[in-house]
Amino acid sequence: MLKKILIANRGEIAVRVIRACQEMGIATVAVYSDLDRDALHVRLADEAYALGGTAASESYLNTEVILDIIERSGADGVHPGYGFFSENTDFARAITERGVTFIGPPPGAIEVMGDKVSSRIAAQAAGVSGVPGTTEFLNDASEVIAFGEEFGWPIAIKAAYGGGGRGMRVVRSAAEAAEAFDSARSEALKGFGRDECYVERYLTWPRHIEMQIIADTHGNCVWVAERDCSAQRRHQKLIEESPAPSFPAEIRQAMGEAAVKVAKACGYVNAGTVEFLYQDGEFYFLEMNTRLQVEHPVTEMVSGIDLVAEQIRVASGLPLSFTQDSITLSGHAIEVRINAENPAEGKFLPSPGDISTLVPPAGFGTRWDGGYESGDTVSQYYDNLVGKLICWGEDRPTAIARTLRALREFRIEGIATTIPADIAILEHPDFAGATHSTKWVEDTLDLTGVTAGPAVSDADAEPKVQRDVDVEVNGKRFSVKVFVPQSQAGAVVAGAGPAAAKPRRSGGGGTAGAAGGSGAVTVPMQGTIVKILVEIGQSVEAGATVCVLEAMKMENNIAAEKAGTVKEIKVAAGDSVGAGDVVVVIE
């Protein structure tokens, strides 16, 4: 059994792994960035080492520093959590080359499943089909039309090297094929650097169901239970549950066996998840996640299996502590992700800040996997997941009622959270009736009446002033209110001149700011610069995009508000920026 485990992560998953280690008598080593010096995971670990740096790229993704801390701490195992290095083969190899155990799958399995095309081919070879479609890359729109005529409309054009739905285009008739094919390819090229696309039948109202599997080094590979993750928004999961509602036992058995086939096909070891789309009694392979997932607790609550403890056992060379036949599933579990986002008017704007009060709910069947306590700060530099509330009941209605009670009991102040939106989802008859699909939150649920939770008391921070800003998100223009620290209030914000000077059309969607702006182009919200689209000396028109900002989990085009010549570029791709920061200066 491993003796000392370094957790190469932060937040709630780091806390989760530390707890499992402590219950197993394994020493724990935490790592922390400058901002996380006093974080909960640091407070709970036996030892803690500074990574230095603030942004993830400087700290939790700094391979060299982590490898050095592994050496200095004498850790004999590393748990990557999820995100960060959890699916990075170079990181896994660098660790195992040093004789230290990577608590996860073999690098080869990560590689096969990390690429959508190879994972589809591997699954197909194992007898597990994806949605009917082509495995060859498309050459021109005529092939799209031929496929649609043969398999029926609508169809989906997908980026072979894409993910998260980006680059996906739905084509409803031959007339739409050419334009859809071109835009899918150009978005794929822009987003992923590769424009290869393929085509599938489009499932109009699918459920997103994933199967938890775990395999040891003694030839045992089992499926544990499925999770329904259909309550999503822009490919971000909000609520997950197990078992999947209205899911026949024979489908569960067939999906479980299919997931095991896929795992065995790539020589999988440790915990993993095989994702499927489910519609009209049929399921189709979507992709495999070669890591422990955020939503693993719902599986633990219905099976009684501690998946992290099993991961550590498997990594230590021990067999699974259970067999396929010994697994018994009981009751119903629901997980709600509590994010530091303001769901008001359905906008889900990031809401980092100091948590003045955090008192999680408790009681029968109520679990809180949190990464923060009262007095901690949610930073704009990391994922804004505060924690997960997981509730168990002997049946789904009870689990829903318990989750609603717990959400209403939850006390969290100082930041806005997604709790009001979670309550709206759980109260909705479509959710209770399990008639929702992956499109329901965005296409059907009406969140306009939803407001942020208890008053966000932000007394300590610098007073903020409201700025009206027009931003472009995925090609669509939004008018948003941003609250920037008073000291930055004078900054001119891209796409919106000084609030006072800007006549706003009713219903938002204002035009770019006054041409007479200072020429300092700034960003309206915190985020990370993805790419710079101009050069020093280049002439730009008013409204031209000068850079792309990743924020709110999407790419936002930051536009010049006046024509001129680029005089100064103050940022580079990968830089983190805060609301109001100047990124480009135009003369």
Site residues, ligand MV4 (CB under 6 A): 131, 156, 164-165, 168, 200-203, 206, 208, 232, 235, 277, 286, 438-439
Residue 32 or 440: which CB sits closer to ligand MV4? Answer: 440
Token pair in block for residue 94: 């660098």
Sheet holding 47-50: strands in order across?
47-50, 27-32, 4-7, 77-79, 101-102
Residue 277 or 312: which CB sits closer to ligand MV4? Answer: 277
Provide the minimum distance between the beta carbon of 153 and ligand MV4 in the complex, in angstroms, as a whole number: 12
Provide the minimum distance between the beta carbon of 457 and ligand MV4 in the complex, in angstroms, as a whole number: 35
Provide the minimum distance between the beta carbon of 226 and ligand MV4 in the complex, in angstroms, as a whole number: 14
Provide the minimum distance between the beta carbon of 200 and ligand MV4 in the complex, in angstroms, as a whole number: 4
Provide the minimum distance between the beta carbon of 204 and ligand MV4 in the complex, in angstroms, as a whole number: 7
**Contact at 8 Å (CB) between 66 and 47?**
no
How far, rounded to the nearest angstrom, does the alpha carbon of residue 482 sit from its chain's CA centroid?
23
Task: Please provide the size of the chain in residues.
Answer: 587
Residue 96 or 289: which CB sits closer to ligand MV4? Answer: 289
Enter the DSSP assignment of 574.
T
Residue with tokens 């008739």: 173
Q: Which amino acid is at 252?
A: R
Residue 168 or 469: which CB sits closer to ligand MV4? Answer: 168
Provide the minimum distance between the beta carbon of 503 and ligand MV4 in the complex, in angstroms, as a whole number: 37
The neighbouring-strand residues paired with 193 are: none
- The Cα-based distances of 143 to 27, 171, 522 in angstroms read 58, 13, 44
Residue 201 or 428: which CB sits closer to ligand MV4? Answer: 201
Residue 168 or 492: which CB sits closer to ligand MV4? Answer: 168
Provide the minimum distance between the beta carbon of 187 and ligand MV4 in the complex, in angstroms, as a whole number: 13
Provide the minimum distance between the beta carbon of 178 and ligand MV4 in the complex, in angstroms, as a whole number: 20
The neighbouring-strand residues paired with 43 are: none
CA dihedral 523, 529, 533, 536 (to 10 degrees): 80
Give the whole-angstrom CA distance, residue 242 versus residue 236. 18
Phi and psi at 107, nearest 5°, equal -55, -35
| Nearest alpha carbon to residue 42 among 15, 76, 78 | 15
Residue 41 or 201: which CB sits closer to ligand MV4? Answer: 201
Token pair in block for residue 241: 């549950």
Residue 200 or 383: which CB sits closer to ligand MV4? Answer: 200
Residue 93 or 235: which CB sits closer to ligand MV4? Answer: 235
DSSP string, 27-82: EEEEEE-GGGTT-HHHHHSSEEEE---SSGGGTTT-HHHHHHHHHHHT-SEEE--S
Enter the DSSP assignment of 116.
H
Enter the DSSP assignment of 228.
E
Residue 196 or 409: which CB sits closer to ligand MV4? Answer: 196
Provide the minimum distance between the beta carbon of 167 and ligand MV4 in the complex, in angstroms, as a whole number: 10
Provide the minimum distance between the beta carbon of 283 and ligand MV4 in the complex, in angstroms, as a whole number: 12
**Contact at 8 Å (CB) between 224 and 328?**
no
| Nearest alpha carbon to residue 548 among 561, 533, 565 | 533
